[in-house]
Structure formats: structure tokens, C-alpha cells
């Protein structure tokens, strides 16, 4: 009859201690014995040193079970001894008898404690220093040792998570768990209870309370008492399939575990100072985790028992995984490894070998990468140093040469900075500020209108008087138009300083030529405008001097240059003036707000007055241009933001403008492409501009880039546009330059068709030949040609300008 055998194993001093419980027969009772096995490197297997096993306890009548075995410190002997707890159960009695033995020598066992309980111990069985045997039963914790007279019960009621020893000086045996609070407090408290002195700590210094409900098993890695505070490193396996490392109660690292129901956490001190955390699960699963990287190293299934000790005798720990097997022998199928250098396998097929997880391999890869980058950076530093040394060498050499020259009285030439690869810290640029052309006096000579004046208006905003003149240039060569108000003519005919702006009227296109008075306009080059498109000349001036002088009607003068007088050299153009009407000013009107632009109050207006209002505002307000760009995304909806967030309103007369109804502010948003737009802000002062920009920057997403522009690029035209215009100028205008009086000649030819056919034919032939000659080598109209050349130059200038604007972006 085959003996029913229960084997429990324990690692002791590099050997395996196997406890066997033989239940021979109901009549003969059972026997618990032990024997030790040691690892033999040569045979790569465990062998029994002594064939005979030493009996611990023999009982003929009771059924015996090995409940628990582990090593614990024997306080009397001051050394670690293997302990084993046996349960004896006699038939027909409901009580359980427990015996705690410690193994003193290789053959002897010593009974440490013996007690009888009416129940079977199941929960939190542990044997700690003493040897003390601790267990819990229904929220009560009991302990027993050779020192205690019988079973003691802890004075507090606690739901135990962990029973163990801490490496502390005074208190060592600790129980961690949730204390069942008195009924008036709803919450449970998690405490650390020290058995030696009965002190209770909040266990939050170990593990946060939030984890208390999920802790399945726990292991104290290190603990230290500093100023009545516990510093600890604790490993916890939770029911969330996680292994968590806590340092002084803070979750430091997490590792996901592949199996459920962890039972035990152990540490393996392997080679290379690396620790392995081994988690044993129910149903024979084992998972190892590198402590450094906190990643799963290896997993095994079907493990019966896991022992950790230095079985090989190399100085560091190994894991001994004992697998389930059908064999009778206690260690027939095992794996002995430390996952580094040592691997011995027995009774297992090869394919069940180490299945190092991907994560581990990835770790190695990362390590190599890190080393590589360190090597690289080291090389870089070395190169830098070498460069430094070279520079220093050269410096020394030069100094030596200089010194040599000095001593020998030669003149020393300092090499140029460029040769030395030096860069001067400040630019030695030459001052070539293009001084503004001064207006050398104005001849008030009245020429007959090169400018045709249609209408004059005036507005009054704040302190400023704005007056505008709608005019048409009848002559293409008019340049430098400006306007001025003449003060009371009876007294000294003072001319007010004005800032003049010329805008096309109606304000459809935004080609504003801003600048100090007098404004230079290059209208002549625009064929569309040469005929008779209307321009609005808007001038801004201080209103106060006008009003103090008491005059209510002021004449307005227009000043302009013309190039008609071709005799004079190019620089000195004749400056002409023209009276173009007058404006009346009345303080009463102003105070009643009659002259205030109505457009600001009602954006829906669409009248000529509103147009004048807009022009006045554009002339008065300072304008700043901003380029809003986003490289990799379409722009945010700026127009929508203006209207929805800032409550600006679109102008009916020019929908590209948005006006601020609360203040005097205009904003113009033009989107050239989905990725780029130009924002023109018309403001009275810088503060309101800043205010606006601040809210704009808040609104724009991070990816957007905003930068100020000297002047809007769209006004200068993009490079492509200007080049296109240049080509157009050449292709379209070239034909107009050719002198074309062909029509006249044809008529001429027809009129002569009379007598003497041969003569006529001959003449005709000659004419025809001449005409073909002309066609081949056409004559040019001189003035038209020079105009074309001028236009071309302007076009090319524009293109150059656009190219220069583009250049920094490229």
C-alpha cells in the first residue's frame, strides 16, 4: 500500500530541508520526519546526504498535518532555526492539537510550544522570531511561543494584512491591518501594531489607506525609525493585479502582474547587486520582477514550491522552483536559477526553459542605447576640448610671435578678424539715414487744376480735425499731393501742419500710402487709376488752434508737384498749390457731436457719409500690422473671435473692417491663405493696442505665431504677384508703345488710287515696302517709351522690394 506522503520543503543554509508526513495506515497512525538534501554541481541534482530521515513526531492515533514550516530566529540560541508547525487531529474529537517544533541539529527536533484549539487555523499563519507563532482568527490575533505561557490574544481587534518582522532595534514583530473602530466611528483605521510593546502607529507611513482594501500580501523591504517616524520600503501585491513599491507610504512604482491571487512576496539577492522580487501566486504561478526597473523578468506556472537560498554556494541567492511532478522523489523536477549566470534544470523539457519576457529584452536594448548616447556625448565633449586646446595653442603662438616682434623691434601685423574667424560684437555700419526730402518752400502759385475736386468733408474726433477732399487727378504726372488748412487770412497766413493720407475713394481697395506729410504717391504707374478714379485725400490736424483763432471758415489748399515742366532737372519739381474749397468750423457743432463720425454708432450705415467716416478714421488712427501664421494647421477663426468674444461689429460699407463699438478702434482681418493672415489694427493709442493684443494672444492657440510687420506684405504684393505684374506690364504695354499710324496711311493710300496705274502701283509698292520695313524695325513713341521704362522700373522696384521682404523668410 503506497504511503500517502505530504512533503514540505524549507531552505536552510544552502540545503533543502524536506519534511515528510507519512500517513501509513489508520491503525498505525502517522509520522513526520525530515531529511536534508544538498545540491550537487556535478550531477546537477539534489541528493540526500543521509538516507535515513529523522523523525520529529510520531503518533499512532492521530492524523498529522504539517501546517507551516519556515525559519525563524531562536532568541535563546541566537540563531535562525527551521521551525515546523504540526496539527494533530484525533478522531472523534473536535479539538485540534498544534505542536511547534524547531530543528536544532540535523537529526533532532525540539518542541517549542504545544496548544489545543477548538478550530482549525487558516489565516495569516506566521512564525517569527522567538520562535513565536502568530495567527488570526475572526479579527482576533493570537500568538504563542516558548516564553509565553500558553496562547495570548492581542488586546485590539484587527483585520490582518501582514504579520512580520521589521529590522528595527526595539520593536520588531509587527502586525499591519485595519483596526475595527468603535461603533461610533464609521471609518476603519489602518494601523501598525507592535507586539513587543503594544504600540500602535498609523500605517499610512507604510502603505496609504487607499490601498488597504486591495492589499493581498505584503513584504517589508526595509524599515528604519527616524525621530519616531517610520521610513520604509514596502512591496505590496494587490488584488488589482499589481505589485506596488511604497517608499515611506508613497507609491513609488507599479508593475502589472500577470496572475491573480498573490500569496507571497520574496526577495532574491542575485549577482550584480540586482534584486529580484518573486511573487508566488495560488495555483502554482510564480512571477519575478526586477527590482531596479520594476518590470516583469520571468514567469513560471505549475510550481509546487519556491525556495530561495544559496544552493550552489556561490555567494548570492538563487531561486529553486520545484515543479509539480508525478515522481515520488521530492526534487525530481526543478529549476535552479538566478536569472543571471546560474541555471540548472532537471526533469523539464527544454521548451519550458526561461521565457524571458519582452520587457526584459527591451531593458537590455535601452541600456545599450543609453550607453551609446553616453559614449557619443563623451566623444563630443572630447572634441570640444580638443578644439579649445587648438584655439589656446594658436593664441599662445600668436602672443609669442607678437612678443618676438616687439623684442626685435619689428612691426607686428594683427591678422584681420575674419581670418581669425572672429565676429565683431557691434556692427560698424555707416550712417546713411535717408534724410527726408525737405519741402523747400511752397510756391503759392495758382495753376489751373491738375486736380479736380469733387467734395470736401470734415470730421471731428477727440482733439483732431479731419478733413477730406475727394478728387480726381486729370494729369498722370501729379505726385506729392498734400493738403493744408490756412488759418485766418486777415492775420498772418499761418498754415497748419497736417498729416495727410491718400486713399482711394470709395474705400474698396486697401492700398493706403501712409507716411509723413507730404505723402508720396505713385499713382501714375497704375493704368487703371491714370484715367479718373477718385482719390480721397484726408488730412488730420490739431483742432484747438483753429478754434482759438475764432475763425469759422478755413480755406483748404492742395499742394502737389508735377513733372510736366520737363525742362527742370528731375530733382526740382515744380510745387504747385490749388485752392479747393473751405470748411466751416463751429464750436457749437462740435460740442453737439454733429461732426462725430456716425459710423461708430451704427455699423450698418452704407452711405457716402459713412464712407467718409471710415476714411477719416483710417487717416486719424495709427495702424499696426501683424502677421498671424500657423505652420502646420489652419488658422483659428479670428473674425469669429472679433465678433463673438470682443463684440466688434462688421462695417456694412466695407466688410473687411470690424469696428469696436465701445471705443475708436478698427480692425481689419485679411486671410491670404488658410495658414496666414494679416491683422491691421487701427488704434488711437498704444495702450488700447496692447490691450487688444493681449486678448488676441490669449485667444490664439500655441501653434500660432504672431509678429509685427513694417507694412503689410499684401499691400506690397507678394513676390509672385509683383512679378506677374511686371510681366503684364511688358506684354500689355509694349504694343501701345509702338507708333501706330497705319490706319492713316491706309486711308492715304486709298485716296491716291487714280490715274497712271503703273506709277501708282509702284508708289504703292514702295510704300508697302516701307511699311514692312517699319514693321520689322518699328519706331517707338519717345514719350510713351520713356513712360513704359519708368513703369517698368517701378514694377521692378516693387518686385525687388517684395523679394527683399520674402528673403528673411526663406
Partner 1 sequence: MTVEGKFESDEEVDRWSEENNNIIVTWKQNERGLEPNQNVRKRCCLESLKLLQKIQGIPAATERLKLEMTVSYNTFLFSLSFSNASEIEESLTHSLLRVLEAAGSQVSSSDPVRLWKAVLQTFGTSVYVPYVHKLLLIQWMLWLMQCQLEKVLTLLTQTNHKREHSAPVNLQTETRNLALSMEEDSSLMVAMAAKDLKDLLHICTVVCQGVEQMKMEKYSEALEAFQEAKGLPSPRSLLAQIHTLTGQSFAKLGQPHCALHFYRKAVEVDCACHSALYQSALVFRQLGNPKAEMEALRLLYSAVQLQSDKSSSSTSLVCPATLSGEQMTFISRIPSPSLILHSLAHTCVFNGSISDGVEYYLDLLASLQSDGKDLILTGNGTSLPRIPVVYLEAAFALLKAERYSDALVVCEEVITSTLDFIPERVLLDADEKQNVADSDVVLENVDFVLWAGAAHLLQAQAHWKLKDTKEAITNFTRAINHLVKVFSKQKDWKQKYLGNTEAMVERMVILEAAKGQALAGRGLCFLERGQLKEALRDLHLSLQMTPGCKNIKMWLTEVLWRLDRKEEALTHWREADRDAPKSVILPLYLQLWPDDTAFDFSDLKKKMEEYVQAKTT
Residues lying near partner 1 in the complex (CB under 8 A) are found at: 187, 189, 191, 199-202, 204, 208-211, 213-214, 238, 240, 242, 244, 250-251, 253-254, 256, 369, 631-634, 636-637, 673-675, 701
**CA-to-CA distance for 515 and 518, rounded, in angstroms?**
8
253 vs 774, beta carbon nearer partner 1: 253
332 vs 672, beta carbon nearer partner 1: 672
We find the least distance from the C-beta atom of residue 331 to partner 1, in angstroms, to be: 37
237 vs 487, beta carbon nearer partner 1: 237
We find the least distance from the C-beta atom of residue 471 to partner 1, in angstroms, to be: 41
550 vs 808, beta carbon nearer partner 1: 808
**CA-to-CA distance for 115 and 132, rounded, in angstroms?**
13
**CA-to-CA distance for 243 and 382, rounded, in angstroms?**
43
Are the CB atoms for 82 and 127 separated by under 8 Å?
A: no
Q: Which letter does DSSP use for residue 598 in this model?
A: G
587 vs 720, beta carbon nearer partner 1: 720
We find the least distance from the C-beta atom of residue 150 to partner 1, in angstroms, to be: 27
213 vs 786, beta carbon nearer partner 1: 213
251 vs 302, beta carbon nearer partner 1: 251
We find the least distance from the C-beta atom of residue 802 to partner 1, in angstroms, to be: 18
Q: Is the N-terminal amide bond of 131 cis, ω within 30° of 0? A: yes
We find the least distance from the C-beta atom of residue 250 to partner 1, in angstroms, to be: 7
**CA-to-CA distance for 789 and 795, rounded, in angstroms?**
10
**CA-to-CA distance for 19 and 69, rounded, in angstroms?**
9
188 vs 271, beta carbon nearer partner 1: 188
As to burial, measured by CB atoms within 10 angstroms (0-12 exposed, 13-18 middle, 19+ buried), residue 284 is: middle
432 vs 632, beta carbon nearer partner 1: 632
CA 510 remoteness from chain centre: 39
- Per-residue H/E/C for 737-802: HECCCHHHHHHHHHHCCCCCHHHHHHHHHHHHHHHHHHHHCCCECHHHHHHHHHHHHHHHHHHHHH
82 vs 249, beta carbon nearer partner 1: 249
Sign of CA dihedral 747, 753, 758, 759: negative
198 vs 417, beta carbon nearer partner 1: 198
We find the least distance from the C-beta atom of residue 226 to partner 1, in angstroms, to be: 17
Torsion angles phi and psi, residue 81, rounded to 5: -130, 145
Could you tell me which residues come within 8 angstroms of residue 235 by beta carbon, excluding any fewer than 6 positions away?
Answer: 218, 219, 220, 221, 243, 244, 245, 246, 265, 277
**Buried/exposed 306-326: b ≥16 CB within 10 Å, e otherwise:** bbbbbbbeeebbbbbbbbebe
How is residue 465 written as a grid cell? 480735425
We find the least distance from the C-beta atom of residue 194 to partner 1, in angstroms, to be: 11
**CA-to-CA distance for 30 and 312, rounded, in angstroms?**
34
We find the least distance from the C-beta atom of residue 176 to partner 1, in angstroms, to be: 13
We find the least distance from the C-beta atom of residue 252 to partner 1, in angstroms, to be: 9
DSSP-assigned letters across all residues of 131-173: TEEEEEETTEEEEEESSSSS-EE-SS-EEEEEEEE---SS--E
We find the least distance from the C-beta atom of residue 181 to partner 1, in angstroms, to be: 9
Torsion angles phi and psi, residue 728, rounded to 5: -60, -45
637 vs 686, beta carbon nearer partner 1: 637
**CA-to-CA distance for 605 and 609, rounded, in angstroms?**
9
We find the least distance from the C-beta atom of residue 467 to partner 1, in angstroms, to be: 44
322 vs 628, beta carbon nearer partner 1: 628
We find the least distance from the C-beta atom of residue 365 to partner 1, in angstroms, to be: 12
We find the least distance from the C-beta atom of residue 649 to partner 1, in angstroms, to be: 23
DSSP 3-state of 716: helix
Are the CB atoms for 360 and 297 separated by under 8 Å?
A: yes
We find the least distance from the C-beta atom of residue 213 to partner 1, in angstroms, to be: 6
Q: Is the N-terminal amide bond of 552 cis, ω within 30° of 0? A: no
Torsion angles phi and psi, residue 378, rounded to 5: -60, -45
211 vs 560, beta carbon nearer partner 1: 211
How is residue 248 written as a grid cell? 515611506
We find the least distance from the C-beta atom of residue 215 to partner 1, in angstroms, to be: 10
We find the least distance from the C-beta atom of residue 202 to partner 1, in angstroms, to be: 5
The helix or strand, by DSSP H or E, that contains position 627, with its residue range, turns out to be strand 622-630
Which of 144, 115, 147 has the alpha carbon at shortest distance from 132?
144
15 vs 806, beta carbon nearer partner 1: 806
201 vs 290, beta carbon nearer partner 1: 201
Q: 479 pairs with which residues across the strands?
A: 561
CB atoms within 10 A of CB 517: 18
**Buried/exposed 29-60: b ≥16 CB within 10 Å, e otherwise:** bbbbbbbbbebeeeeebbebeeeebeebbebe
Are the CB atoms for 232 and 192 separated by under 8 Å?
A: no
We find the least distance from the C-beta atom of residue 256 to partner 1, in angstroms, to be: 6
**CA-to-CA distance for 659 and 672, rounded, in angstroms?**
21
> For residue 369, what are the CA distances in angstroms to 230, 378, 538, 657?
38, 14, 70, 57
208 vs 449, beta carbon nearer partner 1: 208
244 vs 540, beta carbon nearer partner 1: 244
We find the least distance from the C-beta atom of residue 211 to partner 1, in angstroms, to be: 5
Amino acid at each position: 500500500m503506497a504511503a500517502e506522503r505530504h512533503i514540505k520543503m524549507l531552505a536552510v543554509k544552502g540545503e533543502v530541508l524536506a519534511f515528510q508526513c507519512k500517513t501509513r495506515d489508520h491503525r498505525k497512525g502517522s509520522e513526520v520526519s525530515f531529511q536534508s538534501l544538498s545540491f550537487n554541481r556535478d550531477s546537477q541534482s539534489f541528493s540526500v546526504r543521509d538516507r535515513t530521515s529523522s523523525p520529529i513526531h510520531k503518533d499512532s492515533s492521530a492524523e498529522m498535518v504539517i501546517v507551516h514550516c519556515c525559519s525563524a530566529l531562536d532568541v535563546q540560541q541566537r540563531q535562525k532555526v527551521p521551525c515546523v508547525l504540526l496539527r494533530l487531529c484525533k478522531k472523534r474529537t473536535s479539538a485540534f492539537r498544534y505542536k511547534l517544533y524547531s530543528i536544532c541539529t540535523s537529526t533532532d527536533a525540539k518542541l517549542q510550544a504545544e496548544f489545543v484549539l477548538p478550530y482549525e487555523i487558516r489565516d495569516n499563519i506566521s512564525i517569527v522570531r522567538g520562535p513565536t507563532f502568530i495567527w488570526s482568527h475572526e479579527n482576533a490575533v493570537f500568538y504563542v511561543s516558548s516564553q509565553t505561557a500558553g496562547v495570548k490574544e492581542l488586546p485590539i481587534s484587527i483585520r490582518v494584512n501582514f504579520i512580520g518582522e521589521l529590522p528595527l532595534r526595539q520593536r520588531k514583530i509587527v502586525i499591519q491591518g485595519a483596526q475595527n473602530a468603535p461603533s461610533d466611528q464609521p471609518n476603519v483605521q489602518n494601523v501598525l501594531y507592535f507586539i513587543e510593546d503594544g504600540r500602535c502607529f498609523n500605517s499610512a507611513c507604510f502603505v496609504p489607506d487607499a490601498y488597504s482594501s486591495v492589499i493581498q500580501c505584503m513584504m517589508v523591504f526595509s524599515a528604519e525609525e527616524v525621530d519616531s517616524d517610520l521610513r520604509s520600503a514596502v512591496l505590496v501585491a494587490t488584488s488589482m493585479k499589481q505589485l506596488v513599491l511604497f517608499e515611506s507610504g508613497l507609491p513609488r512604482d507599479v508593475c502589472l502582474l500577470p496572475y491573480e491571487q498573490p500569496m507571497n512576496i520574496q526577495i532574491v539577492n542575485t549577482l550584480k547587486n540586482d534584486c529580484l522580487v518573486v511573487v508566488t501566486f495560488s495555483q502554482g504561478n510564480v512571477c519575478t520582477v526586477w527590482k531596479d526597473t520594476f518590470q516583469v523578468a520571468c514567469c513560471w506556472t505549475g510550481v509546487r514550491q519556491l525556495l530561495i537560498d544559496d544552493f550552489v554556494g556561490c555567494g548570492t541567492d538563487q531561486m529553486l522552483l520545484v515543479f509539480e511532478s508525478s515522481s515520488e522523489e521530492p526534487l525530481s523536477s526543478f529549476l535552479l536559477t538566478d536569472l543571471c549566470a546560474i541555471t540548472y534544470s532537471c526533469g523539464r523539457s527544454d521548451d519550458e526553459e526561461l521565457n524571458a519576457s519582452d520587457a526584459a529584452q527591451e531593458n537590455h536594448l535601452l541600456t545599450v542605447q543609453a550607453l551609446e548616447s553616453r559614449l557619443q556625448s563623451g566623444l563630443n565633449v572630447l572634441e570640444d576640448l580638443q578644439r579649445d586646446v587648438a584655439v589656446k595653442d594658436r593664441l599662445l603662438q600668436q602672443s609669442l610671435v607678437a612678443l618676438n616682434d616687439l623684442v626685435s623691434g619689428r612691426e607686428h601685423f594683427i591678422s584681420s578678424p575674419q581670418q581669425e574667424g572672429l565676429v565683431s560684437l557691434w556692427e560698424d555700419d555707416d550712417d546713411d539715414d535717408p534724410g527726408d526730402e525737405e519741402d523747400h518752400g511752397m510756391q503759392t502759385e495758382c495753376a489751373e487744376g491738375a486736380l479736380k475736386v469733387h467734395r470736401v468733408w470734415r470730421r471731428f474726433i477727440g482733439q483732431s480735425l479731419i478733413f477730406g477732399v475727394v478728387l480726381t487727378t486729370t494729369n498722370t504726372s501729379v505726385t506729392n499731393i498734400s493738403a493744408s488748412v490756412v488759418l485766418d487770412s486777415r492775420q498772418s497766413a499761418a498754415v497748419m501742419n497736417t498729416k495727410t493720407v491718400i486713399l482711394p475713394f470709395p474705400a474698396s481697395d486697401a492700398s493706403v500710402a501712409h507716411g509723413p506729410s507730404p505723402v508720396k504717391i505713385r499713382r501714375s504707374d497704375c493704368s487703371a487709376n491714370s484715367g479718373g478714379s477718385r482719390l480721397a485725400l484726408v488730412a488730420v490736424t490739431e483742432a484747438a488752434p483753429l478754434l482759438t483763432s475764432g475763425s469759422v471758415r478755413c480755406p483748404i489748399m492742395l499742394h502737389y508737384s508735377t513733372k510736366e515742366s520737363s525742362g527742370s532737372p528731375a530733382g526740382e519739381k515744380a510745387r504747385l498749390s490749388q485752392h479747393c474749397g473751405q470748411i466751416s468750423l463751429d464750436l457749437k457743432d462740435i460740442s453737439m457731436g454733429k461732426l462725430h463720425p456716425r459710423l461708430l454708432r451704427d455699423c450698418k450705415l452704407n452711405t457716402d457719409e459713412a464712407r467718409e467716416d471710415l476714411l477719416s478714421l483710417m487717416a486719424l488712427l495709427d495702424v499696426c500690422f501683424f502677421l498671424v501664421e500657423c505652420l502646420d494647421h489652419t488658422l483659428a477663426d479670428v473674425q469669429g473671435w472679433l465678433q463673438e468674444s470682443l463684440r466688434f461689429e462688421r462695417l456694412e460699407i466695407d466688410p473687411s473692417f470690424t469696428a469696436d463699438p465701445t471705443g475708436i478702434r478698427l480692425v481689419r482681418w485679411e486671410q491670404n491663405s488658410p495658414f496666414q493672415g494679416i491683422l491691421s489694427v487701427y488704434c488711437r493709442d498704444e495702450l488700447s493696442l496692447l490691450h487688444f493684443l493681449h486678448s488676441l494672444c490669449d485667444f490664439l492657440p500655441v501653434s500660432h505665431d504672431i509678429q509685427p510687420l513694417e507694412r503689410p506684405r499684401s499691400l506690397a504684393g507678394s513676390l509672385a504677384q509683383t512679378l506677374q505684374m511686371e510681366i503684364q506690364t511688358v506684354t500689355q504695354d509694349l504694343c501701345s508703345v509702338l507708333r501706330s499710324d497705319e490706319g492713316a496711311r491706309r486711308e492715304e493710300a486709298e485716296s491716291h488710287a487714280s490715274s497712271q496705274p503703273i506709277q501708282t502701283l509702284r508708289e504703292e509698292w514702295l510704300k508697302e515696302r516701307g511699311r514692312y520695313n517699319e514693321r520689322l524695325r518699328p519706331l517707338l513713341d519717345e514719350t510713351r517709351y520713356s513712360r513704359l521704362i519708368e513703369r517698368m522700373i517701378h514694377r521692378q522696384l516693387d518686385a525687388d522690394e517684395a523679394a527683399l521682404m520674402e528673403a528673411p523668410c526663406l
